[in-house]
Structure 1
Amino acid sequence: VSKELLDIKNTVSFIKAVLLDAEQKQHQNNELREWLKQIKRIFSDAEDVIDDFECEGLRKQVASGSKRKKVRLFLSPSSNPLIYGGRMAHQIKDIKEKFDKVAETRDKFGLQIIDSDNRVVQRRETHSHVNDSDVIGREHDKQKIVKLLLGDGDGDDKSLSVIAIVGIGGMGKTTLAKTVFNDKSVVESFPLKMWVCVSNDFELKNLLVKIINSTPKQNHHENIKNFDMEQLQNHLRNALAGQKFLLVLDDVWNEDRVMW
């Protein structure tokens, strides 16, 4: 299984490099757009299998220090070595066949391999507007996120919830976020909604300015760019005070937990 899984990882890395080119060309080619949808579905399955395999490894590490845990894990169908190995082998074979079939048509679109680590990209500023033609097939995902946002409908809930939509470029994360942002029930539930494009240039002070400027105009200040961090935080705190709000941070690349 390990060798086959490595093959899947290598294939995923290769397809990722091609996807960068496909993402840029899809708007001029409807057939390419459909090809991307197929690839994304297979990607999702592949990532699930890879995650499952890695989680199984972690479970074994945790179980190694406890005989009781060892027994419980072995009795679990998903952790029985024979059952688990057979299931994984079947899933990997199925995914590889799907990848190979779809990858055969890559040359048809003239896609090039782009190294995402070495390229410099001028990223577009995103916005919250969404076209109906872009959201086909995302209703199920949208409803799951809307349900998480709205919770049990208790208007007295003052907790802060964070929902992350993650994935490789071209998977439709921004489009999905837009459909949630503009959903009728979400609009009715959040009196204040803010959409901020973060992008590669992550700087906390600039981000705070963007968030403040995405609130109603009465909260804006002509000299806001001259504010220090404490002034910005106080200004934003006053702008949000007593309000139920939804803040979408789109195109986030920075993964430094200290910064967040």
Structure 2
Amino acid sequence: MDAIAVNVFQGLTSLALEEFKLLWNAKHDAESMKNTILAVRATLLDAEARANNNHQVSFWLKRLKDVLYDADDLLDGLSTEALRRGIVTRNKVAKKVRIFFSKSNQVVYNFKMADKLRELRRRLDEIDNDKKQFHFIDHTPRPLPVLEERKQTYSFVQEDEIIGREKEKDVILSYLLDGDAESSVSIIPIVGFGGLGKTTLAQIVYNHVDVQKHFGLQRWVCVSDEFDVKQIAQKILEQKSSKEMEEVQQDLRRLIEGKKFLIVLDNVWNEDVEIWHKLKCLLTTGVEGSMIIVTTRSEKVGRMMGTYSPIILEGLDGETSWNLFCSMAFEGGREPNDKELLEISNEVVKKCGGVPLAIRAVGRLVYDKVLEGLRDLSYFKEL
């Protein structure tokens, strides 16, 4: 619960709200929500301890969880839209590409988001007020960690989803398929900021045919929330139960005993080395050559958890960025015979800074507009 509360707090602190210049005191709503979240975090430890024996407290926590997840979804949407607007409107040819975001649509969107934010603030205030009846004991919450990617991920991906990461893929495969690996379990960290393709790279190697044959057991675990050893163990076991930690760790050790396994821990934020070692100790009964791939935005996590040197992802080069954009924006990935459109597109791609997520987002937008019939530049010239 604390992890999602921190997610929302950081989302409210982001530049997304400034980017939209939300109306009707939306900035006030955001500040109010931040203060309320800080107050609620101080009571979470006591509330969660009492929830098992008190249905009213349990229901209060459920209401809090619901509003926090709704706020997280809203802020995710704001961040994505801010990224798209920023890419398009801050370049030298913004006037020509205003097709992507009409002024009227921006105003409507801003009002809708402001209304939703205000409703979330009202719900959060109501929940905060209701907690007074429980007389929770305040505890000093843990320092705000760096929480980044939020969405749940999964193991499947199509091979053509990865562009420009062949070198990194080959390095990871060489580690995974190393027949001379002597450690009971080795860890390969993939490090990079959001949108660079850490998860996609992990998906590609996880599904590689040689990897599938090499490991007797494979598990994909999207960590995302708080780094909880019991929850991660249960995900590896593919079980949801009310078992005590002692039973869970026994089940986990039995599962991996005598097997060469590959486990992906996607979206790791935890920077507490002690918690990491607790999990690692439970994963030492596998066959030599067992592997764990960790994806993270934190270089500290990469260094702390890694057996191998971290695979550091950087932005795509210009040629690869352009090829990716064309594959998303134009039919069959072929460049159109339109000099001005190509010039505009090149400027937009440069502003993406080699970030695959941004390139894909803008490319899809261009493709959608082409499908709407806006194939010539007359529409651009009228703006």
Structure 2 unaligned segments of length 5 or more: list them: 1-25, 144-151, 159-206, 213-217, 241-251, 306-383
1:167 and 2:194 equivalent? no
User: Residue 13 of structure 1 corresponds to which residue in structure 2?
Assistant: 38
| 1:87, distance to aligned residue in structure 2 (A) | 1.0
Task: Give the 3 Å change call, closer, same or farther, for CA 173–7 of structure 1 in structure 2.
Answer: farther
Task: Give the 3 Å change call, closer, same or farther, for CA 111–17 of structure 1 in structure 2.
Answer: same
1:36 and 2:61 equivalent? yes
Question: Deviation per CA, 1:43-68, whole angstroms, max 9, x where unpaired?
Answer: 11112223333444333332211426
TM-score norm. by structure 2 comes to: 0.39
Q: Paired residue for 1:85, among 83, 88, 110?
A: 110
1:202 and 2:202 equivalent? no
| 1:164, distance to aligned residue in structure 2 (A) | 3.1
1:178 and 2:209 equivalent? no
C-alpha RMSD of matched pairs (Å): 4.8
1:106 and 2:131 equivalent? yes
Q: Mapping of 1:215-234 within 5 angstroms?
A: 215-216=285-286
| 1:84, distance to aligned residue in structure 2 (A) | 1.4
TM-score norm. by structure 1 comes to: 0.55
| 1:71, distance to aligned residue in structure 2 (A) | 1.2
What CA distance in whole angstroms lies between the structure 1 residues aligned with 2:272 and 2:156?
31
Which has the higher Rg, Structure 1 or Structure 2?
2
- Whether the aligned pair in 2 keeps the contact of 1:39 and 1:102 (CA below 8 Å) is yes
User: Residue 58 of structure 1 corresponds to which residue in structure 2?
Assistant: 83
Question: Counterpart of 1:71 in structure 2: which amino acid?
Answer: R
Q: Mapping of 1:240-259 within 5 angstroms?
A: 240=290, 256-259=300-303
Q: Classify the secondary structure of the residue corresponding to 2:222.
A: coil
Question: Counterpart of 1:11 in structure 2: which amino acid?
Answer: T
- Whether the aligned pair in 1 keeps the contact of 2:270 and 2:301 (CA below 8 Å) is no
Task: Give the 3 Å change call, closer, same or farther, for CA 23–99 of structure 1 in structure 2.
Answer: same
User: Residue 137 of structure 1 corresponds to which residue in structure 2?
Assistant: none
What CA distance in whole angstroms lies between the structure 1 residues aligned with 2:62 and 2:40?
13
User: Residue 125 of structure 1 corresponds to which residue in structure 2?
Assistant: none
Aligned length: 196
Q: Classify the secondary structure of the residue corresponding to 1:12.
A: helix
User: Residue 45 of structure 1 corresponds to which residue in structure 2?
Assistant: 70
Task: Give the 3 Å change call, closer, same or farther, for CA 111–200 of structure 1 in structure 2.
Answer: farther
- Whether the aligned pair in 1 keeps the contact of 2:52 and 2:58 (CA below 8 Å) is yes
What CA distance in whole angstroms lies between the structure 2 residues aligned with 1:206 and 1:193?
18
| 1:32, distance to aligned residue in structure 2 (A) | 1.2
Question: Deviation per CA, 1:163-203, whole angstroms, max 9, x where unpaired?
Answer: 4332369xx9955872663349xx9xx96588x9x977406
